[in-house]
Amino acid sequence: MLTDTHCHLFKEYFSDLDKVIKDANDVGVMRFISASDNLKSIDEMIDLSYKYDNVYIAIGIHPENCEEDLRELEKVLESNKSNKKIVAIGEIGLDYYYGKETRDRQLEVFDYQLSLAEKYNLPVVIHSREATLDTINCLKNHNVRGVIHCFSGSKETAFEYIKMGFYIGVGGVMTFKNSKLDETIKELPLDRIVLETDSPYLTPEPFRKYSNEPKYIRTIAEYLSRIKNIDISEVEKVTENSVSEIFFI
């Protein structure tokens, strides 16, 4: 069994979610964690969590949407404390590639959401793009655990996150022909890696011409097994154990 620890199962991306989930199940991808990125999508994720037994959700405000009202996020968390399908605060973090001009607001929003994760004892799913130092410094100010989503940094940065207790989320980028990320991932301990698609984005090779779907977790797991020279059954066993440790599912 495999889990897609980060996807975006929004209606605007997938017109037939029943088929998307069935296609993934057919290749052994049995659980999904769908992440919100703004307040509007949080409502959709909560509905999704009730509709599908094997879909769990992360709720949070993406740095690109940092102008949204943070108080509304806390209201949602407070009113949904009984929903055990909410397994993380995410996708949250910092993005200076698209939004360097909003750096101060991003830092404020990130800090607030990390505080919510502490308050509600939830792991975090971290987005960090061209903001490594600020991300690390913010995380050090909070007692949180979780995943560095879509990791694309250096080996040294990966081990810094691991030392802080975080797991490294890897997906389709690792398979890209112009990516050297696989050299870094090869050096990381398997028990600190989790698998994700970030679908509908970042489709792995050799399926780049298609929209990404959770079923491609199987492709990502197979690629990881090859670069680490281990059997895919070991990838499944170890990464699934990590999913349980992080998200308690």
pLDDT for 98 equals: 82
Number of domains in the chain: 1
CA angle 84/88/92 to nearest 5° reads: 150
- Give the SS3 label for residue 169: strand
- 37 contacts: CB under 8 Å, gap ≥ 6: 8, 60, 61, 62, 64, 65, 91
Query: Alpha-carbon distance 189 to 24, whole Å?
Result: 26
Q: What is the pLDDT of residues 92-120, one digit of tens each?
A: 999 999 878 899 999 999 999 999 999 99
Which residues constitute the domain of residue 29?
2-247
Q: What is the pLDDT of residues 121-163, one digit of tens each?
A: 999 999 999 999 999 999 999 999 999 999 999 999 999 999 9
Task: Tell me the percentage of the chain whose pLDDT exceeds 70.
Answer: 100
Q: Mean pLDDT, to the nearest integer, of 12-22?
A: 97
Distances from the Cα of 214 to the Cαs of 42, 63, 115, in angstroms?
Answer: 19, 24, 30
Is 68's pLDDT higher than 90? yes
Q: What is the pLDDT of residues 32-46, one digit of tens each?
A: 999 999 999 999 999
- CA trace torsion 197, 87, 140, 171 (10° rounding): -10
Please count the helices (runs of H) and the strands (runs of E) in the chain: 10, 8
Q: Mean pLDDT, to the nearest integer, of 6-31?
A: 97
Cα-to-chain-centroid distance, residue 164:
17
Query: Alpha-carbon distance 219 to 215, whole Å?
Result: 8
Query: Alpha-carbon distance 106 to 134, whole Å?
Result: 10
Query: Alpha-carbon distance 35 to 44, whole Å?
Result: 10
CATH number assigned to the domain comprising residue 150: 3.20.20.140
- Give the SS3 label for residue 134: helix
Q: Mean pLDDT, to the nearest integer, of 85-93?
A: 98
Q: What is the pLDDT of residues 167-191, one digit of tens each?
A: 999 999 999 998 999 999 999 999 9
Query: Alpha-carbon distance 85 to 59, whole Å?
Result: 11
Contact criterion met (CB below 8 Å) for 154 and 184 = yes
